[in-house]
Structures are given as structure tokens and as C-alpha cells.
Amino acid sequence: MFELKFNQDLCYHCNTQACLTKCKFMDIDNATAKNEILKIVRGEDSFVLHECVTCYACEEYCPYGNHPFYLIVERQEALGITPQPLPLVKRAINISIPFRGEPEINEINGPVINLGAFSQLKNKIQGKLFDGLSIISSDERKMFHYFCQLMYLHYGKISLIKERLPNVISTITKHKPAEVICFHDECYGAYTSFCNAYGISVPFRPVHLFEYLFSRLIKLRDLIKPINIKVAYQRPCSSRLCPDKHLYVNRIFELIGAVLVKRQFSDENALCCGLTIQGQKKEGSRKRALEIQRKNIEDIEMAGAEVCVFNCPACFDTLSIKLKERNIIPTFMSDLCRISIGEISFNDIKMSG
Amino acid sequence: MDSIYNALCDIVGKEYCSNLPEEIYIYSYDLGTAEPKKPDYVVSPRTVEEIQKIVLLARDKNIPLVPLGGGLSLAGLAIPQKGGIVIDLKRMDSIIEVNERARYAVIECGVSQGQLISYLKKHHPNLTHSEPGAPPAATVAGNIIIHGQGDLAHPYGFSSDMVLGLEVVLPSGDIIRIGSCALGSGWFTIHPLPDIGLFLGWCRTTGIITKLSIKLFPAKKIRGTGTFVVEDEELIPEIIYKITHTQIPEDIIVYSRAIPPFAKGLHHITVNLAADSEKELEFKQELIWDDTLGEYIKNDLGGYLGFTKELERPQISKTSDYKKGGGFEYVGGIMPIDTYPQCYIRGREISEKHDIPYTVTARIIGLAHSMMFAWTYAFNRADEETIKKAREALYETDELVIELGGVIWKPGIYGQRLVMDRLHPGTKNLMKKIKTIIDPLGIMNPGNWELL
Ligand SMILES: Cc1cc2nc3c(=O)[nH]c(=O)nc-3n(C[C@H](O)[C@H](O)[C@H](O)COP(=O)(O)OP(=O)(O)OC[C@H]3O[C@@H](n4cnc5c(N)ncnc54)[C@H](O)[C@@H]3O)c2cc1C
Ligand code: SF4
Ligand code: SF4
């Protein structure tokens, strides 16, 4: 089985304990943080393992890339601490079992875009920006063959990821892709951060959607008409696994002339959408999730955004109705880019929901 | 020339009458596993008077009559077992009156669920009716006649509990009215005149309902569905008891099925909530998810999966077709809630025995006074062997309903026999007498409820 590459010496000598002191869900001072992270390193129980809402953020907070969050989930599993109640864990385990037969493998020998478990979002990858890309996982009935499995980080089930991810990688590899553009941050995080941390080999080159969109927009520069609208960005938890790609948000916005509004909860200080929190076992979780959503929505509204852009379909589903109630248009980054090159309008987005 | 065909054409007009093989064929089967049987004629009347004339013709010539709404009730209920005339009622589609303040609608028998919903949305956004999970082309009358249940069944009971008045053409050709409309005083109540419960649940063997008045209910501004997941089936009766004690939900459904895999071995309890404001919604959510179900979450026995606004209606028909081939039929049993664990376990066994991925669904009726428990069996229309397996599974399930102390809902012919064999002799006798008085020639839907 694959082992986490975690350097405990770094923690012994670390001065910041940023992984825990920056945590937005626990109020921890340096001394406590040091104590608790070392307990976790030694495999002992810690209140952190019980209080963690699995927001992924400490993966980004650790200045040494030491994977504290993966370690937390390892220990949660070892000690049988599941953040979610058991029926939801069982449901989650079952959800990605493919049940409609084997995927149809065609060799592509060129760039592909992988929709993972979001085949229903094919309409988000249309037009000139995606010209020349082959789509894998376009069949809703077979998409779980392409599902990166990383969501089990929310369920204290890291062993399941280690068990299933290599098969998914092997399925994708059979398509002989030159490079794999990952529609969702979580897939990208799986094939980069997670696989690096566990020494799982990835025979293809994963590309983050934002990086891809940016390079395509550069090529289509002549078509861009500045959007000139105030747009907020809602950062998903899985973007914490690839913070180096987060800067593409700014780059894309600059290129398409969208005004990125200044939010309190942005960049490192982002707040997740709360979806994973609402069902957690800890008392008050549902209310906690609502509170997080309220904070996000008010923040977006106070920042003056007319549009809110997402990359994660789960965040989109969680927040979009609430945004619409406040006359803020929710949309995907890919659609925002398509607007900039005149392929669709905000009205189309409003109409299509 | 066929004189009956000509007579029917004289009544409804040529374009609304047929005895052409290709058109008759369409009326010979339904979506389920029942053996097809061809009618001799199909007519589509537009008025009560036309229906009356058709009935008189059938009576004089002693020809079977089978009324048809959307034809979606499955179980072969609208298949002309002994041929005769199928009366397709879809053209009887006027919404005659909606009384906003007294919350009722008077409609003709061909009005479909989809039609009523969109009419109310447009003209009376504060009102709604109890809509079943059937495809929108199902008729409101068809659902009521078979004692169906819609998405307000939890607070208000069976759809037939929501009837405020009826107009019926009897097999004699007489037109009668029941309820306040019989006094000419509007269609607002079925009580307190003497009870004439002769037309609902009789499987259209006693008359053709032409108009009806139904209760409407407040349509709140926000409607949505929350889901709670449980693994142990033994907990379901107790959880349902607790949820219904709050008297808050509009609809409660429990389902479990082999496909898709997330639902296998788990019970998803969906709870529809409605509110006019966020404050009201959160009050209701708190009572249900936190105060009532919080202990199950804490003890690892249940999980809250979230709440989605913007109710998608109807919900059941979207998910009935996971198996290749597109066919499915279910046995519905009206069951005591306590039987849920047995219904589930035994249903799984029957499915597995017949190599069909199991699908069970329960809708709670009337504050848990009962539930409609549906065992669904999918089959491939193009594969006779799978149809046979599904049919066998359906028969075994009919027997299971009786064994577990339930009542088979809208039984097909096999289930009808099981019920008749066990019916209290006094009751059966009275029913026979009533049927003989009301339809002495037995022209109404013969072949169904034959012993009557
Ligand atoms: C996917 C699916 C989901 C379903 N979900 C539900 C559900 O959630 N709840 C539920 O209750 N049902 C459900 N059903 C069953 C059924 O479709 C509905 O109850 C539906 O409303 C029946 O209406 P219909 O117009 O199709 O009836 P039909 O099948 O046309 O008729 C029903 C019976 O009544 C007779 N009849 C019809 N009109 C008249 C009349 N005017 N006078 C006298 N007799 C008449 C017919 O001869 C027939 O025997 C579902 C069916 C499907 C296919
Ligand atoms: S995980 Fe990173 S931030 Fe946390 S203590 Fe170790 S080195 Fe420091
Ligand atoms: S994952 Fe989030 S909640 Fe958990 S410890 Fe890390 S920062 Fe805190």
C-alpha cells in the first residue's frame, strides 16, 4: 500500500504551526498546535482529529508542503474517527462504484479534458476555448471510472483513495492522452498533490483547467471584449491542494477585463461552501454550514459582485440559489471566459440557470 | 358496415372514433406486464351528453365499456379484458372553476396532472393540489378513482380523501351528482349528505366519473426536499413516527434500491418542506433535522444529506427506469408503517430470486396512519423472459402484501382474486348486490373484479 511522505522533523522544528494556528474552525495557539500536531504525528488521539471539518486548507497553510491534512485523515481512519455519520460514509463509499459496464476506451494520442464525475456538465466545455480537445468521461452512466476519489478525504477513508485511484489512473492512461486537462480542481489535486504525497505514479501530464483556459485565451486574445463587470470568485476546498494554480484566477480576470471584487474571504482566507460540513456528526453541523454559507453570500454581496464565478460544481450547487435570490448571477469560470469571447451572454446564463 | 362504429361516429364525430387495427392496438396494452387485449372500438367524447349516449348504446347492445384517463395506472387496469369500447377521456379537459378562497377546483375527468399544476401556477400561485409521482399526462380523476396518493399525502391522506363532489354517468345512462353540487349549491363539500361511496376504488365498474371537485391546498413560496439516510431498516418505523409527530412535512418518502449503488442497503428518507419565508423554513428544518433526528446523527445511525430548494415535480417517475429496456411495474401495498422492515427484506429477496435489481419505495399517508409501499420490478420490453420474471415477482409480492397484513393497492387481476378470496363474506355479498343493481348487464369494465 502507498505510504504518505510526511516529514515529521519539519514539524519538530517548525516555528509557525501554521497548519493549525491558521485553521478557521479551531482557535489554537502555537503551543497547543505544536503539541497536537506532534500527537497526531505519533498516532495519538487529538481533539483536532474530532474537530476538523475537512476543509483541506491546512494543506495550503503548511509552508513546507508537508501534507498535514492527509496526515489528519490517515489518523482519523486509523483511530476510527469518521467526521460523517456511518450511513453517509457507506453511501459515499457506494456512490462511486461503476455499475454500467466498462468504459469504452479509444486511443486519443492528443490532449483530452476529463470531466471526472461531472459528465452532466458537458455544456460547460463548449466552443472555441475547447476546440481540438477530446472529452473523456462524457457518459454519465460510466463516469465513475474516471472519478478521482479524492472526496473520501471528507469521510476519513484515505485507504479507499489509495485503493481505487490507481485503477482510475490506469483507465485514463489507456486513452493515451498527451495531456489531461482536469475540469475540477479536485482531479488536478489528485494527480498532482495526492499522488506526489503517496508516490503513486501518474503516466500522463495533468493540467489545471484555469491554466488551460488562460493559455487558450491568450491565443484567442483578438476575440476578447472586456467584460467590465464586478465578479466574485468562490474558492473551493480542493483548490487548497494546488495553491500554485490559484493565481490563474487573477490572470484570467485581467485578460478578460472582469473586475475581481475584493472579498474578505478570498485567497488563503477563503471560506469553503459548507457542503461537506452540513451532514457531519458533530452537534450543530447543519447550522454551522448555514452560517458559513451566510457569511460567504454576504461577503460576496458586500463586495459589490454582480456575478459569482465557481469552478467546483458542488460549491455551485450549494450557493447558486442563495446567490440568485440576491440577484447575483452564479456561473462557471469556463462560461465566464466564453462570455468574454462573445460566445454566450450573461443573459444566456441567467436563462439556462 | 359496422353499425356500432357508425353509431359511435354519430355521437362523437368520425375523427374521434376508430376501429382501425393500428389505433386499436395502441389501446390494447399498458406500460406494465399485463397481457394485451384489443378493444373493438375507441371513442374520445367531449361532453357529458356524448358519454351518456355512448353508455346508452353500450347498454342497449350489451357491449363492454372501459374508461381511460392517462392509461398510466399500470397493472392492466385500463386494458379491455373483454374487448368492447374504450372511452378515451383526454378531451374532457376543462378546468371549470377554481375557487381561491374556498380552495377547491372543479375539473372535467380528462384534466391531466401537468395541466392542473401549470394552470394553478399561472392563475392561482397560492394554491396547489396533491400531485402523484406519475408522469404529468396522468389524469387527476384516474389517480383519485384508484385511491392514489400524491405529494400532500402525509398531511391530507389519499387523493380520494380530497374529493368534494362528483358527477357520474351510471351504467344505466343516468347522470348523478354527489356532494353539495347535488343541491346546486356549488362544489365545496362532499358532506353532510348521506354517504354514497360507490365510485372511488370500485375500479370503474360502477360508473364513469365526468366531473369532480377536489381540495386545493396552500402553495407556499419555498418548497424543497431534505434527505436523511439510515442503514438499519428496523429504525424506519420509529423515525417516521417521530417525523410525523412534528406535523410539518408535506410529503415523506423512503426509498432503497440496488441501482444506483449509493442507494443499496440504505434507506433514504426524503422530506418535503414548504415555507413562505426563510425564517419559517429554518424553523421547520431545525425541528426536523436537529431536534427530531439529531440523536440519530450523534449516534452514527443516520445522516443528514442536505436540503434542496426548488422542488422538482413529479419525483418518482424520473428514477423508475434504471434498467435496460425501459419496462417497469410495481405492486403497491397499503401497509402499516411497522411492517417497513419486513416489506424491505422480503422485497429484496423476491427481487434477487428473480434476478431483478431491487427497488422499494414507501410514501407515508395521513400522518403515518399507513404507507403505500411499492415493490418495483424492471424488465426489458424486448425480452419476454424478463417480462415473465417480473410478472412472477409481482404475483409473489401480491401474496406478500396479504401475508404482511396489508391491502393490495390497485391490484391487477391476480391480486384482485387474492383480495376477493379473503374478503369478509358479508362485505362481498353487499358489494355484489350493489354491483348487480347498478350495472345489471355487467357492461362496465368486465374481467376486472369479476366475482362482483
Ligand atoms: C412512473 C410512475 C409513477 C407513479 N407514481 C404514482 C404516485 O406517486 N402515486 C400514485 O397514486 N400513483 C402513481 N402512479 C400510478 C398512476 O399513474 C397514477 O395513479 C395516475 O394518476 C393514474 O391516472 P391515469 O389517468 O393514468 O389513470 P388510468 O390508468 O387511465 O385509469 C385508472 C383507472 O381508472 C379508470 N378510469 C379512468 N378515468 C375514469 C373515469 N373518468 N371514470 C371512471 N373510471 C375511470 C380506468 O379504467 C383505470 O381502470 C405512477 C405511475 C407511474 C407510471
Ligand atoms: S504540518 Fe507544516 S505547518 Fe504544521 S507543524 Fe508541520 S511543518 Fe509546521
Ligand atoms: S482541514 Fe481545515 S478544519 Fe481540518 S485542521 Fe485543516 S484547516 Fe482545520
A57 lines ligand 2 (CB under 6 A): no
Name the A residues in 265-304 with CB < 8 Å from any B CB: 275, 278-279, 281, 283, 285-287, 290
Contacts 24+ apart (CB under 8 A), B341-346: B341/B233, B341/B234, B341/B236, B341/B237, B342/B404, B343/B373, B343/B375, B343/B400, B343/B404, B344/B233, B344/B236, B344/B256, B344/B267, B345/B233, B346/B400, B346/B404
With CB atoms and an 8 Å threshold, state whether A97 touches B261.
yes
For residues A20 and B336, give the distance between their C-alpha atoms in angstroms, rounded to a whole number.
52
With CB atoms and an 8 Å threshold, state whether B231 touches A88.
no
pLDDT at residue A1, rounded to an integer: 77
- Per-state percent for chain B, helix, strand, coil, to nearest 5: 35, 25, 40
ipTM: 0.94
Q: Report residues of chain A scoring pLDDT below 50.
A: none
Element (H, E) at B435: helix B425-438
- Which of B268, B288, B292, B300 to mutate to probe the A interface, most A CBs <10 Å? B300
Q: Is A101 on the interface with B (CB under 8 A)?
A: no
Q: Among A87, A99, A283, whose Cβ lies nearest the Cβ of B261?
A: A99
pLDDT at residue B437, rounded to an integer: 93
With CB atoms and an 8 Å threshold, state whether B260 touches A85.
no
Strands B267-275 and B251-257: antiparallel
Tell the residue nearest (CA) to atom 44 of ligand 1: B204
Nearest chain A alpha carbon to B229: A87
Q: Is B230 on the interface with A (CB under 8 A)?
A: yes
Interface A-B, measured as beta-carbon pairs within 8 A, has a size of 70
Ligand 1 atom nearest the C-alpha of B140 is: 21
Cell numbers standing for residue A137: 468521461
Q: How close, in Å, is residue B354 to chain A by CA atoms?
A: 19
Q: Is A192 on the interface with B (CB under 8 A)?
A: no
With CB atoms and an 8 Å threshold, state whether A88 touches B290.
no
Chain A partners of B300 at a C-beta cutoff of 8 Å?
82, 85-87, 281
Chain B partners of A95 at a C-beta cutoff of 8 Å?
260-262
Tell me how far the alpha carbon of residue B367 lies from the centroid of ligand 3, in angstroms.
42
**Topology given in CATH for the domain delimited by B95-218:** 3.30.465
Residue with cell 503516466: A203
Chain B partners of A319 at a C-beta cutoff of 8 Å?
none
With a CB cutoff of 8 Å and minimum separation 6, the contacts of A346 are A229, A307, A329, A331, A339
| CATH architecture of the domain covering B221-409 | 3-Layer(aba) Sandwich (3.40)
Class of domain A212-352: alpha beta
* Single pTM value for the model: 0.95
Ordered DSSP codes for A207-219: EEHHHHHHHHHHH
- For residue A173, how many other CB atoms are within 10 A of its CB? 15
With CB atoms and an 8 Å threshold, state whether A84 touches B303.
yes
Intrachain domains A111-208 and A212-352 with the same fold: yes
Give Cα separations from A246 to A257, A316, B315 (angstroms).
18, 18, 39
A202 lines ligand 2 (CB under 6 A): no
Q: Report residues of chain B scoring pLDDT below 70.
A: 1, 204, 311-325, 451-452
| B339-397 per-position pLDDT tens digit | 999 999 999 999 999 999 999 999 999 999 999 999 999 888 888 999 999 999 999 99
Give Cα separations from A211 to A182, A215, A225, A248, B384 (angstroms).
10, 6, 20, 6, 54
**Topology given in CATH for the domain delimited by A111-208:** Rossmann fold (3.40.50)
Q: Is B301 on the interface with A (CB under 8 A)?
A: yes
Kindly report the backbone phi and psi dihedral angles of residue B87, in degrees, each rounded to the nearest multiple of 5, phi listed first: -100, 100
Chain A partners of B294 at a C-beta cutoff of 8 Å?
283
Strands B407-409 and B326-335: antiparallel
Domain boundaries, chain B: 3-88, 95-218, 221-409
pLDDT at residue B323, rounded to an integer: 61
**Topology given in CATH for the domain delimited by B3-88:** 3.30.43
Nearest to B241 by CA among B151, B144, B369, B330: B369
Domain boundaries, chain A: 8-78, 111-208, 212-352
Q: Among A87, A99, A290, whose Cβ lies nearest the Cβ of B231?
A: A87
With CB atoms and an 8 Å threshold, state whether A278 touches B301.
no
Name the A residues in 149-168 with CB < 8 Å from any B CB: none
Nearest chain A alpha carbon to B294: A283
With CB atoms and an 8 Å threshold, state whether B264 touches A94.
yes
With CB atoms and an 8 Å threshold, state whether A286 touches B304.
yes
